[in-house]
Amino acid sequence: MIATDPDAGRRWTAEPLPLTGQLTALMAAQYVTLPPAARSALLLAAAADSPDLTTAIPGLSADALAPAEAAGLIRLDTPGPRFAHPLTRSAVYHAAPFAERAAAHRQVADALRDQPDRRAWHLAAAALEPDEHLAALLVDSAAQAQRRGGTTAAARALERAAELSPGEPDKARRLLAAAELALPAGQADWVRELAGKVLTLTSDPDLRIAARLDIGWSLLWSNRNADAFDTLLSVAAEASPRLPAIAWQATWMAATVAHQTGLPEVCAKARAALDLLDSRDGPPPTAEDWPAGRADEYRIWIRACTDPFGERADIVPRLRRTAGGSLSDPGTFGAAAWVLDETELAVRVLREALSRLRAPGVRGASGGVLSALEWACVDSGRWDDALAAAREAGDIAAAYKMETVAGSADLTTAIVAAMRGEHDQVAPLLARVRAAVDTSEYRGFAARIWQTAGVAALAQGNYVTAYAQLSRLFAADGTPLHHHFSYLAVADLAAAAVRAERHLEARTLLERALARVDPAPGPRLAQLTARARGLLAEPDSAEAHLAAPLADPTGDTWPFERAQLQLDYGEWLRRQRRINDAKPILVTALETFRRLGAAPWTRRAESELRACGVTVQAPQGAPGALDGLTAQQREIVILAGHGLTNGEIADRLFLSPRTVASHLYRSYPKLGIAGRRQLRDIIDQQITPGASR
């Protein structure tokens, strides 16, 4: 029903959803045979939005409803009349003509004079003509709903208020307000519908430009990047002289498109829009809905999206200074920190943003925040947290048809599965992303797909395949497929090239690519670049590249990448017969791989240690004990083993403490342990070095 009538999904419960004609006729047949008094009482019960109104509405008595109860249409119990089947209410309601339904709603409204919100909706359901008084009541109802955190209900109230507004200016203004409230709910189609109506109703330039901003947002979340970008740039240019707050928002969203596409010309246009804003005289806007500091946060985001490496040296100090103050938009700020590889800051701020968004009465969409948090958690080695965020983001995406949020969640799950050696999960997830997102337009997704497929092939030892997939991240002249994500795979590309015996080709390709960002901006790219060059270097010059990043403790921020570097360096040391130097480095790498659950790399590190004469023992507990747990049980066990309480685990994984306790209780027998105190031994006691053979 909602698929053919989208408006139906937004109707107030006072107006039941209509059924198909055939079903209505079948279920209404019993209704029309009832005595008139019973039909009237049953219609009142159908119009009422709660069974608790039995005693308050004249005519809605047990005696009047007795024939309906005898016919099996309704049940009478203590709270009030309840329909035997949810569809019965709709059948009864829509079997009556509008005049009778309206009269029923007015009777219900009379009984709700002490509940103005509910009363306003019933009066609205009885109205056919414009009525400013009733529209004003619905505006008040929207304000109450918004204070309670019901932004969708508030938007519905404003939409109905607009329908009842006699004057076009009020109608347009209320439709725009409804669109603004529908934005954080993530309902892109509804936002575009509401804003489109504003454009047909008014010539007011301020209302029209605000409506076009909302349309640009809806196009962005509807997977229509090109249309969104053109709309947003147009809004930014037009709004810049008079409406700077709207211009900043439009440019902020245009930069988001630029980062998703990775196209140089798109990034350049978004940056030009920022330059236009910065060239305007006067301070950034300040207003109740535009807090001080937001323009600075947006400026950081725009610069990070359009040139994350070239701008890093200037932006990161500003980012860190801004982080010390009060953030007006922690979601945007945290996402900027993630793009700029300030990973720990990103995780902290993005979690703060989610906490704010979940607070009662707060407007905000969490899909984009969760997408950034997923990747920040992947980068920082919080893989189980990343999976939890991806699950939540996937649920939100399914509810509001957010293809890019769903695609990011699937990619997060896929890359973790690839790194953990859960090979059967990777291909279906990547296929789902390709089906949902146009990768020719969303080059950021294309880059992540090739990287994930390449890592999965590396993990399985399919080195030629891995090189073929990872080399697609750069053109032959070194031009990156995506100006940010392509560079995060340079070390994996080098590793695949070495094992596929494509040294010279890969060295030429990577040097052309790295020349565009040389010297490497920031410790993360420096570590990745050093590993790539060390792997492709001649044996006598490899150490200079592989050892240098290990002297910088900042590299531990990205534990999987650091452990890969340690593994490659330890392997080089062993081949140079520097066994004693290799052992501690390989031990450290193995500890990280085991903690992360990166099984393919764990096996490689164990093999290298055995080649060094080290006896490698499995962690305490049954061999592969964690493999016998479900994905969620494993997440909970690992967090509990690291000392988190049930409450802390529940907060992190968005579960109840009781659910956490239940999972732990069921996990202990599978792990062969008696209780929580033994978890740390299983999780943390990784290897025991032995004597040389």
Query: What pLDDT score does 643 carry?
Result: 80
Answer whether 534-616 and 625-684 agree in fold: no
- CA dist 14 → 65, 121, 302 (Å): 20, 7, 45
pLDDT digits (tens, 9 = 90+) for 214-230: 999 999 888 888 999 99
Query: What pLDDT score does 11 carry?
Result: 45
Strand boundaries in 596-660, DSSP class E: none
Contact between residue 596 and residue 559 where contact means Cβ atoms under 8 Å apart: yes
pLDDT digits (tens, 9 = 90+) for 273-285: 999 998 875 555 6
Q: Which two tokens stand for residue 204?
A: 């007011």
Unique residue bearing structure tokens 């020719």: 440
Taking the alpha carbons of 71, 74, 75, 80 in that order, is the dihedral positive or negative? negative
**Which residues, listed in sequence order, are joined to residue 77 by a DSSP beta bridge?**
80
Contact between residue 425 and residue 453 where contact means Cβ atoms under 8 Å apart: no
Query: What pLDDT score does 284 carry?
Result: 59
Q: Which two tokens stand for residue 83?
A: 């329909």
Alpha-carbon gap, residue 107 to 402, rounded angstroms: 41
CATH number of 625-684: 1.10.10.10
Query: What pLDDT score does 357 carry?
Result: 81
Contact between residue 297 and residue 332 where contact means Cβ atoms under 8 Å apart: yes
Unique residue bearing structure tokens 């090979």: 423
Phi-psi region of 620 (alpha: psi -120 to 50; beta: other; left: phi over 0): beta
Give the 3-state secondary structure of residue 83.
Answer: strand
Cβ burial 38-60 (10 Å sphere, 16+ → b, else e): bbbbbbbbbbbbebebbebbeeb
Domains of the chain: which residue ranges? 534-616, 625-684
In degrees, rounded to 5, the angle at the alpha carbon of residue 671 between the alpha carbons of residues 668 and 675 is 35
Give the 3-state secondary structure of residue 222.
Answer: coil
Query: What pLDDT score does 16 carry?
Result: 62
Helices 383-400 and 631-641: angle between axes, nearest 10 degrees: 140
Query: What pLDDT score does 401 carry?
Result: 78
Query: What pLDDT score does 1 carry?
Result: 34
- CA dist 288 → 67, 291, 294 (Å): 57, 6, 12
Alpha-carbon gap, residue 555 to 326, rounded angstroms: 28
* DSSP run (H or E) holding 80: strand 80-83
Helices 599-611 and 403-420: angle between axes, nearest 10 degrees: 20
For residue 461, the tally of other CB atoms under 10 A from its CB is 11
Q: Which long-range contacts (CB under 8 A, 24 or more apart) does 348-357 make?
A: 349/323, 350/376, 352/327, 356/330, 357/331
Give the 3-state secondary structure of residue 220.
Answer: helix
Closest CA to 411 of 464, 370, 440: 370
Q: Give the end-to-end CA distance of the chain in Å, rounded to a whole number.
A: 72
Taking the alpha carbons of 205, 210, 211, 212 in that order, is the dihedral positive or negative? positive
Phi, psi of 83 (to 5 degrees): -70, 140
Query: What pLDDT score does 503 carry?
Result: 93
Report the percentage of the chain scoring pLDDT > 70. Answer: 89
Alpha-carbon gap, residue 486 to 414, rounded angstroms: 17
Query: What pLDDT score does 367 carry?
Result: 86
pTM of the full structure: 0.81
Alpha-carbon gap, residue 277 to 272, rounded angstroms: 9
Amino acid letter, residue 554: T
Amino acid letter, residue 125: A
* Fold of the 534-616 domain: 1.25.40
Cβ burial 592-610 (10 Å sphere, 16+ → b, else e): bbbbbbbbbbbebbbebbe
- Alpha helices by DSSP H, listed for 240-366, are 244-261, 264-279, 294-306, 312-323, 330-339, 343-357
Contact between residue 589 and residue 555 where contact means Cβ atoms under 8 Å apart: no
Contact between residue 164 and residue 134 where contact means Cβ atoms under 8 Å apart: yes
Query: What pLDDT score does 184 carry?
Result: 74
Alpha-carbon gap, residue 568 to 550, rounded angstroms: 12
Amino acid letter, residue 529: T
Alpha-carbon gap, residue 261 to 129, rounded angstroms: 47
Contact between residue 551 and residue 513 where contact means Cβ atoms under 8 Å apart: no
Amino acid letter, residue 400: Y
Q: Residue length, the chain?
A: 693
Contact between residue 657 and residue 650 where contact means Cβ atoms under 8 Å apart: yes
Q: Which parts of the chain register pLDDT below 70?
A: 1-28, 52-55, 281-290, 292, 359-365, 619-627, 631, 653-655, 674, 683-693
Contact between residue 406 and residue 390 where contact means Cβ atoms under 8 Å apart: no
Alpha-carbon gap, residue 480 to 165, rounded angstroms: 53
